[in-house]
């Protein structure tokens, strides 16, 4: 789309209260070809790689015996004679004038500039996880189940280098009121639900009973990923997808206190708080009835950090959604253009995703570039690296005042 005089609305975070977003009216669409998001920067060095093999030193060359001075003088004379007898080379035709190089009006904005922009707006955790993604080996989910369970493009579980258990602390996550609210809901209500009991029955239906006290964490060899697969029995979701949040925001029904996006959402997006069984008894009773007594549980965060576009087809496939819009970015931060969000949700076409200039000013700081999930996928294929991640926080162990007891028949 070529630049024109059309003015589009957009939203920016407040200066003093970043969670208070302000509507603006002077956003001008620009030509996509001239002002395009770049992906040409060299990729970051791959992390978690063995050190390079040292290059062996070359053995010293044997010393040559010096030539006789008279031999050197004769050779020099012969070379001079050959030079005199060599005809002059023909003069090359005059070079055509090089075409004038059209300099871009602004410096390119590269996808790898986004982590720095995140730090500038106070999103250090978002920048940290994004840099880890850029420096990872090529690994991405390409199905909805892959995005949920951590299965990559080769149909295999994400490799250990793509599973992070150290970056996020549960205390940091629970410092955000909406996450703390879901945490309280999980331990006060959800772990006692019928759904949780059904999952415990399913889980222990494949375990052997024992009269002894056991610890799920130790049985999983203290491996967080294995612990989640073997002993997680309930969860609660925190935050919805970006598009859902934006639509709520535009309707004036944003989260409490006018919150729209922050470092928690920028780093984790929609994630889950999970409950897993810690200390417990599992034994048989009279009549073949089995009994599970859960005394300890662990609470932790889990998220699959991916740029996979899940299947959100509308009208039973009559309209297919495009690639999820992640905001308009530049080196200063980002803005939200509602029209771009609607286009990303309702069409696979690229033309609605145009860069914009705030107040119509063509400068590095005023042009913002649309970013979507597909931009990250294209970057991965271009550079042959970039890794989707499974993220876990540390766990918080809770001793239940009243044990959670479930009985069932095998």
pLDDT in tens, 215-226: 999 999 999 999
Instruction: Please state the three-class secondary structure of 65-87 as a single string.
Output: CCCCHHHHHHHHHHHHHHHHHCC
Cα angle for residues 98, 104, 109 (degrees, 5° grid): 135
Average pLDDT over residues 250-256: 45
Report, in angstroms and rounded to the nearest whole number, the Rg of the chain calculated over CA atoms.
31
Q: Which helix (H) or strand (E) holds 345?
A: helix 338-346
Q: Considering only CA atoms, which of 155, 146, 161 is closest in space to residue 308?
A: 146
> What's the token pair of residue 393?
């926080």
> Cα separation of 111 and 377, whole Å?
11
Cα angle for residues 11, 375, 324 (degrees, 5° grid): 50
> Cα separation of 207 and 249, whole Å?
46
Q: Considering only CA atoms, which of 343, 392, 407 is closest in space to residue 372?
A: 343
Per-residue confidence (pLDDT) for residue 202, from 0 to 100: 95
Evaluate if residue 90 carries a pLDDT over 80. no
> Which residues are CB-neighbours of 92 under 8 A, at least 6 positions away?
none
> Cα separation of 170 and 276, whole Å?
15
CB atoms within 10 A of CB 137: 15
Name the pTM for this structure.
0.80
Evaluate if residue 253 carries a pLDDT over 80. no
Can you tell me which residue has the tokens 């799920």? 216
Q: Which of 142-151, 176-185, 260-269, 292-301 has the lowest mean pLDDT?
A: 260-269
Per-residue confidence (pLDDT) for residue 40, from 0 to 100: 87
pLDDT in tens, 192-204: 999 999 999 999 9
Q: Considering only CA atoms, which of 160, 143, 120 is closest in space to residue 330?
A: 120
Contact 392, 300 (CB under 8 A): yes
Instruction: Write the burial class of residue 234 (CB in 10 Å: 0-12 exposed, 13-18 middle, 19+ buried).
Output: buried
Q: Considering only CA atoms, which of 293, 380, 291, 366 is closest in space to residue 329?
A: 366
Which parts of 184-342 are beta strand (E)? 210-215, 232-238, 271-277, 279-284, 289-305, 325-330, 333-335
CA distances from 188 to 13, 57, 184, 185, 293 (A): 35, 66, 6, 5, 17
Q: Considering only CA atoms, which of 343, 338, 383 is closest in space to residue 246?
A: 338
Average pLDDT over residues 373-392: 96
Average pLDDT over residues 260-273: 89
pLDDT in tens, 10-27: 777 766 555 567 777 677
Chain centre to alpha carbon of residue 261: 16
Contact 301, 391 (CB under 8 A): yes
CA count, 13 A, side-chain hemisphere, 249: 25
> Cα separation of 298 and 340, whole Å?
41
Contact 201, 152 (CB under 8 A): no
> Cα separation of 238 and 269, whole Å?
9
Q: String of b and e for 57-93 (b: at least 16 CB within 10 Å)?
A: eeeeeeeeeeeeeeeeeeeeeeeeeeeeeeeeeeeee
How is residue 385 annotated by DSSP? B
Question: Where does the pLDDT of residue 255 fall: very low under 50, low under 70, confident under 90, or very high at 90 and above?
Answer: very low
pLDDT in tens, 295-353: 999 999 999 999 998 875 443 444 456 788 888 999 999 988 877 766 666 656 655 57
Evaluate if residue 77 carries a pLDDT over 70. no
Q: Identify the residue with better confidence: 39 or 129.
A: 129
> Which residues are CB-neighbours of 285 under 8 A, at least 6 positions away?
291, 407
């Amino acid at each position: 789309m070529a630049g024109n005089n059309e003015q589009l609305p957009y939203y920016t975070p407040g200066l003093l209260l970043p969670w208070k977003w302000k509507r603006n009216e002077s956003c001008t669409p620009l030509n996509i070809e001239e002002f395009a998001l770049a992906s040409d920067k060299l990729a970051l060095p791959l992390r978690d790689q063995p050190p390079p093999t040292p290059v062996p030193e070359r053995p010293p060359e044997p010393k040559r015996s010096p030539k006789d001075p008279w031999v050197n003088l004769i050779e020099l004379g012969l070379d001079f004679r050959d030079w005199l007898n060599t005809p002059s080379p023909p003069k090359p035709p005059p070079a055509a004038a090089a075409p004038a190089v059209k300099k871009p009006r602004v410096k390119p904005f590269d996808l790898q500039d986004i982590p720095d922009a995140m730090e500038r707006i106070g999103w250090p955790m978002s920048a940290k996880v994004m840099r880890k993604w850029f420096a990872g080996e090529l690994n991405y989910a390409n199905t909805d189940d892959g995005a949920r369970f951590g299965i990559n493009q080769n149909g295999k579980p994400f490799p250990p280098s793509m599973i992070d258990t150290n970056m996020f602390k549960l205390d940091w996550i629970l410092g955000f009121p909406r996450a703390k609210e879901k945490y309280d809901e999980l331990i006060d209500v959800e772990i006692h639900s019928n759904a949780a009991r059904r999952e415990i029955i399913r889980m222990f239906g494949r375990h052997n009973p024992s009269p002894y006290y056991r610890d799920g964490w130790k049985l999983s060899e203290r491996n967080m990923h294995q612990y989640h697969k073997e002993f997680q029995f309930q969860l609660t979701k925190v935050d919805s997808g970006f598009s859902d949040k934006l639509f709520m925001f535009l309707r004036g029904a944003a989260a409490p206190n006018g919150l729209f996006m922050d470092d928690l959402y920028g780093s984790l997006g929609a994630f889950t708080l999970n409950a897993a069984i810690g200390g417990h008894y599992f034994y048989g009773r009279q009549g073949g009835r089995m009994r599970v007594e859960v005394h300890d549980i662990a609470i932790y965060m889990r998220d699959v950090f991916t740029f996979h576009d899940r299947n959100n087809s509308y009208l039973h496939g009559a309209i297919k959604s495009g690639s999820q819009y992640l905001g308009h970015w530049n080196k200063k931060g980002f803005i939200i253009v509602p029209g771009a969000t609607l286009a990303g949700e309702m069409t696979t076409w690229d033309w609605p995703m145009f860069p914009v200039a705030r107040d119509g000013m063509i400068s590095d700081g005023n042009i913002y570039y649309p970013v979507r999930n597909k931009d990250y996928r294209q970057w991965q294929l271009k550079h042959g690296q970039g890794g989707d991640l499974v993220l876990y926080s540390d766990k918080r162990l809770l001793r239940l005042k009243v044990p959670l007891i479930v009985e069932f028949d095998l």
